[in-house]
Amino acid sequence: MAGVALLSVQALVYFGVMSALLRARKTYGVGLFVCALGVMHFLETYLAAVFFIELPFGLLSPGSTVLFSGKLMMFLLLYIREDAETVRQPIYGLLIGNMLLVVLALILRFHSDVVQMPGYAPDLKFLDQIGTLMVWGTLLLFVDCILLILIYERLSRVFARNVVASAFIGSAIVLSFDQLAFFPVLHWVTGTPFEALTGGWVAKVGAAALYSLLMGFYLVVLEPAAEPRRPRPIRDVFQALTYRSRYEDLLERAHTDELTGVKNRAAFEQLRRDWLERPAIDARPVAVAMADVDRFKEINDEGGHDAGDAVLRALGRALEAHLRDGDLVFRYGGEEFALLLRGVGRQEAVDVAERLRLAVAEDVAKACGRQVTMSVGVATSNFGGGDLRDLVAKADKRLYEAKRLGRDRVVGETG
């Protein structure tokens, strides 16, 4: 069993150095740890392709057994001691770096003046093989890391936050998946015999057990947590690992008016498009109210644009505060706001708009120290809305009618 002993020694050395770098991140930063993971990726892939040892249960490569399995477990350990936002950075960095390696290797073929050095020559076919395996292995690592962290979060609740049990079962599942996904490409590229499929799987499960025990030792003895880590919803972890949360935050900011904090015109147009693409029009009526600040130019002329901005901010807050659940407010442009009122008929829509008009005037007066009124035009559809653009046009006409009649009033449908 000398081969097993040597693999165990390699795993202990690997984990010892990497865990020391991880523990030193508070002093020297996480960069040392991440760079050490990255620089060994080529050796890991090279060994996985050409270096195998034979044990009673089959062929296996230290590249997969020790280095790849260890890397996956170190990503999990980084997640446990930091968070998903931290661990996703090296995952994406490795993916991009290996893609870059393949692109640069392809560009090498355009050189026509390659000098043959005495005793050896560049083996571009071997570089192709390694590049293919590195890219495929990194893609799998990307999936493996996300999958392992999500499974770990789930299992840690089942096993009452038992790190060793959660890490072992999670990593055994993920490494089994990885072995089944990586070996067909390895066999296609290098002709590796099928004995390496079962042998590599047994070795990876063994590595999962050893690394899980070492992780437990590290978390209990070397870097115990000051307090138990609070479980995080699986959906939140997945969104953080895949940058979905960043995308949704950017999308939300793109649809938010910076001055007032309510939704902006772009958000209204998106809603209008979504409304038209609904599979069926529901039977609930919907109303659009267009509200405009009365004599807003005078506010700007008297107090400057800062005064006007203060009024708009207070108006946006007041509208959101007094809207019913499910209703929406948008800054449509300038001092004009669009309100979407759901499930209201003609008279009820006018009543809601009137209540808003009075409440907003009171709130804005308290916030800004000046009397501010608004005029409102309301249009209602009894057939689920149709094209909201038509309702906006009708509401706009009634808004101008409210202005013509003396401002500070609501005008809705007649008859």
What would the DSSP string read from start to end of 316-337?
HHHHHHHSPTT-EEEEEETTEE
Domain boundary among 225, 247, 269: 247
Q: Under a CB-based contact definition with an 8 Å cutoff, are residues 207 and 69 in contact?
A: yes
The secondary structure element, H or E, covering residue 59 is strand 58-60
Kindly state whether residues 233 and 266 are assigned to the same domain. no
Residue 351: which CATH number?
3.30.70.270
pTM summary value: 0.60
Q: List Cβ neighbours of 319 (8 Å cut-off, separation of 6 or more).
A: 262, 291, 329, 337, 339, 356, 360
Report the distance separating Cα 289 and Cα 379, nearest Å. Answer: 6
Give the separation between CA 228 and CA 225, rounded to whole angstroms.
6
Q: Is residue 235 part of a domain?
A: yes
Residue 409, by phi and psi: left (phi above 0), alpha (psi -120 to 50) or beta? beta
Are 15 and 37 in a shared domain?
Answer: yes
Q: Do 158 and 271 fall within a single domain?
A: no
Are residues 261 and 201 part of one domain?
no
**Boundary (domain end) residue, out of 247, 267, 300:** 247
Is 342 within a domain?
Answer: yes
Q: What is the pLDDT along the chain (415 residues), one digit of tens a residue?
A: 788 889 999 999 999 999 999 999 888 888 888 888 888 887 888 888 888 988 888 889 998 899 999 999 999 998 888 877 778 788 888 888 878 877 887 788 788 787 777 777 777 777 777 778 888 888 888 889 889 988 998 888 888 778 899 999 999 999 999 999 999 988 888 888 888 899 999 999 999 999 999 999 999 888 887 666 666 666 666 666 665 555 455 556 677 888 888 888 888 887 877 665 554 455 678 889 999 988 888 888 888 888 888 889 988 898 888 888 888 899 998 889 999 988 888 888 899 999 989 988 888 888 888 888 899 999 988 665 566 788 888 999 999 999 999 998 999 876 4
Question: Taking CA 280 as the corner, what is the angle to CA 276 and CA 281, rounded to the nearest 5 degrees?
Answer: 70
Residue 55 counted as domain residue: yes
Torsion of CA 348, 352, 354, 357, to 10 degrees: -160
Number of domains in the chain: 2
Range of the domain at 356: 255-411
Q: Are residues 335 and 357 in the same domain?
A: yes
